[in-house]
Structure 1
């Protein structure tokens, strides 16, 4: 009886383990679209998306990501995979390498009766490395800065992909021509319980965006969520994963996110300087590293996380 009830309960009523079990069955179905001999499937994380480690019978490892239903749509996920493919091929940066399906598509959409809506799934080769936080060093952050600058050099050329803006405040904001319009800001302030600091942070970010402009030296396709859980260190090199939030924005947004993620560390100032020095070693004239600019985007990021 217990097993029957577990299999028939609405998906929304399941706990994390229950949802992961349902999504595992969907993941198994998704893998049939790929020419990958699967030996073992292991859950990795269940956050906004759900990921599984795939151990292939061919000795290779992969990651299968099952997309959340309220996240980027099929076309947007396909655009993300297209950028990753070009990054691997054209820049030499180590990022996830998408695996095409047998039909040569970079995504597959799978439905399962036990999951309320079809899910977009992608398969990528495993990225080697280890996550570091408390023991991060200045040379490591210098390398992260170099990586970020090279990522932005490539992102400056990636026009026309179907990806959102990374600086939108809310889902409502994404539906407006001006993501910082008065109507968007009013809704954001209301959602934050009337906190007027929201309005000030948005006004500051708007002014900085206008000052920077939208030339390819300051604006393009960016990672959108560059912090310690999304970059790994391997044999002296930086490897970056999880481009699910990638989109168009000012390059300073990426650096502001990376700097803000260091705030809990005692050596944060040294690490921030190393990060920016590494960035300037590739892009020496970048207005992106100006402290006032970074502060404005860091404040905007805090607002976004609060309203998420």
Structure 2
């Protein structure tokens, strides 16, 4: 059963949508919408935790993103009255939604060195192409604030004592010793993993900018590398090195950025735990698994 009225949606956008299917459930529900051969994606934003001003800033960023031969973004689609972010009824409540152009093409493979080099280069090209400013409220991706938010949220989770202690007593002091002011900053994607990009005709198109904000560029690179951190293996190490090498072919990292990268991979684990604590209802067994995974990442980062 589809819970979006396709006729009303067609009327709002002045298009004849022929099919709509849920492709992602959960926090930010996403639908694949067809209008003949044209493909769009409808994002139903979560009802709490992200103000409208940040959603409109996301739409503004993506509409003004410059054309580039190397990298692009899935742009929002306007309604008949020119709005990019609108309200729709869903499950008895009003939710903000945005319709995006489809990003079709090849998905990057996590076990393919050439793909990882290309993906790293794509993240660097995304950073170089990012507009310096955008309208609306742009959240600050402040590493210290993220850790404090995570500590506050995790204290409410049963069984979190060991992880909270590791973050507070081992990780946070290491992060505080970094001179974050020496890290090159700008507008970041926030979650540039391979599931949020497609490659076609020599160009990478990124989508899902829900976590975008202003912060150190190395945070985007560490987020991509974090996906190789949960299991120590020669293959994962090779993929992470290929990712970083691809990035540096386009935008060489400074010494402070290279020094920060291992700590920022750990920061991405903290960000993941924060997201789970804020927006997801996990069973005790699922939390145990999440905490065990976090301990593994913290251990590997400590060795880096």
TM-score tier by shorter-chain length is 0.7 to 0.9
* Displacement after TM superposition at 1:133 (Å): 3.7
Tell me the TM-score normalised to structure 1 length.
0.76
Q: How far apart are the structure 2 equivalents of 1:143 and 1:248?
A: 24
- In structure 2, the partner of 1:187 is 152
Matches within 5 A, 1:121-200: 121-134=97-110, 136-155=111-130, 157-158=132-133, 161-167=136-142, 187-188=152-153, 190-191=155-156, 193-194=160-161, 195-199=164-168, 200=170
- 2:198 aligns to what SS in structure 1? strand
8 Å contact kept, 2:77–2:84: yes
Q: For residue 63 of structure 1, report the CA deviation from its aligned partner.
A: 0.8
Give the C-alpha shift of residue 149 in structure 1.
1.2
Query: Does 1:55 pair with 2:34?
Result: yes
Query: Which residue does 2:52 correspond to in 1?
Result: 74
Equivalent position of 1:280 in the other structure: 248
Q: Distance in 2 between matches of 1:306 and 1:56?
A: 38
Alpha carbons of structure 1 residues 137 and 34: separation in structure 2 relative to 1, 3 Å: same
Q: Residues 66 and 129 of structure 2 are in contact (CA less than 8 Å); yes or no, is this contact kept in structure 1? A: no
How far did residue 106 of structure 1 move? Answer: 1.4
Is the contact made by 1:166 and 1:245 (CA closer than 8 Å) also made in structure 2? no
SS at match of 2:195: coil
2:6 matches 1:37: no
Tell me if structure 2 keeps the 8 A contact 1:142–1:276. Answer: yes
Question: Could you tell me the TM-score, scaled by structure 2's length?
Answer: 0.77
Compared with structure 1, are the counterparts of its residues 98 and 279 closer, same or farther at alpha carbon in structure 2 (3 Å cutoff)?
same
Which residue of 173, 186, 201 corresponds with 1:203?
Answer: 173
2:227 is matched with which residue: 261, 265, 272?
Answer: 261
Aligned residues, how many? 268
Where do 5+ consecutive residues of structure 1 fail to align?
1-19, 170-177
Contact 2:107 2:195 in 1 (8 A): yes
Shift of 1:231: 2.2
**For 1:38, what is the secondary structure of its paired residue?**
coil
Q: Determine the structure 1 residue equivalent to 2:262.
A: 295
Shift of 1:77: 1.2
Give the alignment of 1:51-130 within 5 angstroms.
51-57=30-36, 59-89=37-67, 93-112=71-90, 115-130=91-106
Structure 1 CA distance for aligned equivalents of residues 114 and 204 of structure 2: 11
Q: CA RMSD in A?
A: 2.8
1:37/1:145 CA distance change after superposition, 3 Å: same
- Larger CA deviation: 92-101 vs 81-90: 81-90
